[in-house]
Chain A
Amino acid sequence: MLGTFWKEVRGTLSRVVKHPYFGFILLGVALLIVRRFAELGMVSPSLYKSISSMMIYSIIALGFSLLLGYAGLASLGTAGFVGLGTYFIGHFSGTLQKPFGITLLVALGGAIVLGAVVGFVSLRIEGMYLAIITLGLSEILKEVFKSFTAFTNGVTGLTFRNFMMFGKPVPDAAVDQAIILVFVLVIIATLNIINSPTGRALLAMKNSDSAAQSMGIGLMKYRLLAFVLATVYAVIAGLLYMADIKFSIPGTWSLDFSLNILAAVVVGGAQSILGILLGVFMIFGLNMTVLQNIPFFRQYPDATWILSGVLIILVTMFYPGGLIRLLQALRLKIILLVRNLRKRWRKYRYGEDD
C-alpha cells in the first residue's frame, strides 16, 4: 500500500522536475528568496538592484531573440520601444496619476500598433536594410522623446513618483516582486511560443522566405506577429524599468542601448533562453556586479563596452551559436571524459573483456 503510494509520489515528482517550466519557476523562487535576503540586509541593496535590472534587460533580450534568433530579422529599434514604455507609465501613472489599468491598456495598445507598423515596413525592406530603417525609426522616437515635452518632459528627463494601483500607492517591495513575476511569466510565454507552431513558422521563415511561403506560412502574419511580440516585450520591460529605476532621459534610449541588447542576444546564443540569460549576465550583469567595483572601470565606465564589443566580434566570427553552445559542448566533453575514465577504471579493476 505504502509502497505504491511512494511510487506514485516519486513518479509525480520526477514528472514535475522534468517539466520545462520547473527550472524557471525554481529560478523565480530563488530570486524571491534573494529579495527577502536583501530586505533583511544579507544581500547588499545595490547588488539586488543590479539583479532586478538584469531581469528587465532579459525581458527585452527575450523579445529581441524572437526577432533575431527565430524570425531572422535584425532590428535596431529596441531602445526606442523600451523608452516608449518608460514614458507611457511615467506620463499616465506618474504625471497624470491615472490608474495602472489604463496605463497598461494604453501601453499595450501603443506597442501593438507600433510593432505592426514596423512589421509592415519589414515586409518591404529586408536583410541589412531593415537594421538601418529600424535605426531610423528609433532615432525618430528619440527625437520625439526630446521634443514632445508635454509627454516626456524633454531632455531634462522624467522623474517617476509612486504610482497608484487599486486606489493605494504601490510600495517598492511590490514592484520588486512584480518584476520577478513578470520575468518568470515572460520566460514561460517565450518557451511556449518557441515550441508552438508559431515558433516553428518563424524558424522556417528565417531559413528561407520562399520555402516557408511554399509551405503555407504567410510572411505578413508571422513578421507582424514577431515585431508585435518584440515590441510588447520591450514596452513591458520599459514599464518595469520606470517602476524600478524611476527616471528616464532620452539620452539613455540611443543606439548604444540597442547594440548592447543585440550583444547580449548574440553573445549568449540567440536561440536558447538559457543562452540569453547568460548573454545578459555577460554584457550587463558582469559590468554591474563585478567590474564596477574595479577602480579602473569606475574611472572609465565606458571601457566595459570593449568587452561587449570584443565578445560580439569573436562570437560572430568563431562561434555563431553563442556561448551557450560552447557550454553545451563542454558539458558533452566532460560527460564523455567521465564515461571514458569509468571504462578505464573498470578495465583496471576487472581486467580486459575477452
Chain B
Amino acid sequence: MFEKLMWVLVSFFVVYFALDLLWFRKRAKRPIYQQRLINILLPIGILAGLGIAIKEMTVYLFLQIFLLNIAELCVLILATTGIVLIFKTSVTTNFAQGTIATVGAFTAAKLVIYLTKNTALTMVPKLALAMVASALTSFLIGLFVDTVIFRRSKYLSSVGKQMITMGLVLVLLGLMPLIFGLLPLTIEQFSYDGKMIQLTEEMILYVPDHNILTAIITVSMLTVLFLALRFTKWGLGVRATASNETVAGMMGVNTRLITALSWGIAGAFGGVAAYLYAPLGTQVTVSFMTSVQVNSFLASVLGGFSSFGGPIVGALLINLFASISSFFNSVWTSVIVYALVLILVMAKPLGLFGKKTAKKV
C-alpha cells in the first residue's frame, strides 16, 4: 500500500517535470499556479522517491550506511558553507576552495610528522594541533588571496572573477609539490574504534569514533558561524555586503575587512574539512579534494546560493542520494548522483531554496 502510494507520487512528479521541461518552459512568463505546483510537487517527489528506496534497502541498512557516511556529509557541509560565504561577499564561485583546503591538509600532515619526530606529545593533542594548523594555513591563504587579488578586481564581472579563482587553482596545484614534495602524505584518524548503538533487540548500529567527532566539530563550527552571522557586527556586515556592497560601504561598513575576513573564514572551514576528509580512506595528494569540491558546488547549486541553509540541505540530499545509490549499484554511484542533481537543477535553475533577484536595466 505504502509503496503504491509512493510510486503514484513519484510518477506525478515525473509527469509534471516532463511537461514542464518540454512545454511550460517555452512560454514567456509562467503563471503563479505552475510555480506553486512545482514547489509542492518537488519535495513530495523527492521524499517519495527516497521512501521507496529506503523501503527497498530496509531502514536498518539505510541508517547504518548513513551513519558510516556521516563524516563525508560533514566534510561536504563545511566545504559548501565556505563556498557560500565567499559567494555572499565577493559574488563569485570560488573554484580554489578545495585547493586552498588541500594546502592546509598538507601543512597538517607535515606538522604531524615534525611533532612525532621532535616532541613526545600523545596522539590526540598532536592531531588537534595539526587540525588547528590546517585551519590557520587555509585562513591565511584566504586572507592573502582576498587582499592581494580580489580587492583589486572588484569591478570585474562574476565570470571574470571565477576565472581568477581557476587560475588560482593552477597556481596552487603547481606550488604544492614544490613546498611539500611529490609524495602523498597521510593523516591519522583520532581513533579507529567505534561505538555501538542499540536501537531495538536485534538492531545494533555501529558508528566510528571519527564520524562522531567530525559531526561534533562540524555542528559546533556551524553553530558559531550562524550565531556570528546573526548577532555580531561582522555578521551584520556580511549581510549588508551581500545585499549591496557599495551602499554598505557608504553606510560605514568596512567592506574590505568584511570581505577579507569572509575569505579567511571560508578558507578555515575548507581547511578543517580537508583535515577531516583526509583519513577517510584517501591520502593527502594535490587533487584529493577535487571530488569534495565538485560535490559541494553541486550542493550549493542544488540548494541555491541565496541562503546559507539551502546549500546545507543540498549537501544532505547529495549525501543521501550517494549512500542510497551506493547500496543499489556501487560502480555507477557518482554518475547516478550527478545525473539526479542535474535533473533537479533543470527543474529549479535557481536551486531548491533560491530566490530570483529582480534585475533592473
- Residues of chain A whose beta carbon lies under 8 Å from any beta carbon of chain B: 72, 74, 121, 124-129, 131-133, 135-137, 139-140, 143-144, 147, 210, 254-256, 259-260, 262-263, 266, 300, 302-313, 316-317, 320
Contacts and interface: CB of A to CB of B under 8 A. Distances in A.
22 contacts: A124-B346, A125-B346, A133-B301, A135-B297, A143-B332, A143-B338, A144-B335, A147-B335, A255-B169, A255-B290, A259-B169, A262-B163, A262-B166, A302-B177, A302-B286, A303-B175, A305-B174, A306-B174, A309-B168, A309-B169, A313-B164, A316-B167
Interface of A is mostly: helix
A310 B178 contact: no
A156 to B, nearest CB: 16
Interface in B283-335: 286-287, 290-291, 294, 297-298, 300-301, 331-332, 334-335
Contacts of A125: 301, 345-346, 349
B334 to A, nearest CB: 5
A305 B168 CA distance: 10
Interface residues of B, number: 48
B223 interface: no
B152 A317 contact: yes
Nearest to B293: A255
B298 A136 contact: yes
Contacts of A320: 160
B282 interface: no
Contact of A133 (B171, B173, B178, B342): B342
A129 B342 contact: no
Given A132-B298, A147-B335, A313 B342 contact: no
Contacts of B176: 302
A305 B174 CA distance: 5
Nearest to B145: A313
B106 to A, nearest CB: 14
A51 to B, nearest CB: 23
Given A121-B342, A128-B162, A147-B331, A309 B170 contact: yes
Nearest to A299: B182
Please give me the 9 A-B residue pairs with the lowest Cβ-Cβ distance, nearest first. Answer: A312-B167, A309-B170, A309-B171, A306-B174, A305-B174, A313-B167, A309-B167, A305-B170, A132-B297
Given A133-B301, A259-B166, A310-B167, A139 B153 contact: no
A313 B172 CA distance: 12
Contacts of B346: 121, 124-125
Given A135-B294, A317-B156, A305 B92 contact: no
Given A310-B171, A312-B167, 15 more contacts: A121-B342, A125-B349, A131-B162, A132-B93, A136-B342, A147-B331, A259-B166, A302-B176, A306-B174, A306-B175, A307-B174, A309-B172, A313-B149, A313-B171, A316-B164
Nearest to A124: B349
B251 interface: no
Contact of A147 (B152, B287, B332): B332
Contacts of B175: 303, 306
Contact of A306 (B156, B171, B334): B171
B257 to A, nearest CB: 21
Given A127-B158, A128-B158, A128-B159, A260 B342 contact: no
A74 B163 CA distance: 9
A143 B170 contact: no
A302 B334 contact: no
A129 B301 contact: yes
A187 B339 CA distance: 35
B159 A74 contact: yes
Contacts of B93: 128-129, 131-132
Contacts of B297: 132, 135-136
A147 B334 CA distance: 11
B163 A304 contact: no
Nearest to A260: B170
A145 to B, nearest CB: 11
A308 B294 contact: no
Interface in B163-217: 163-164, 166-178, 182
Contact of A312 (B92, B164, B331, B349): B164
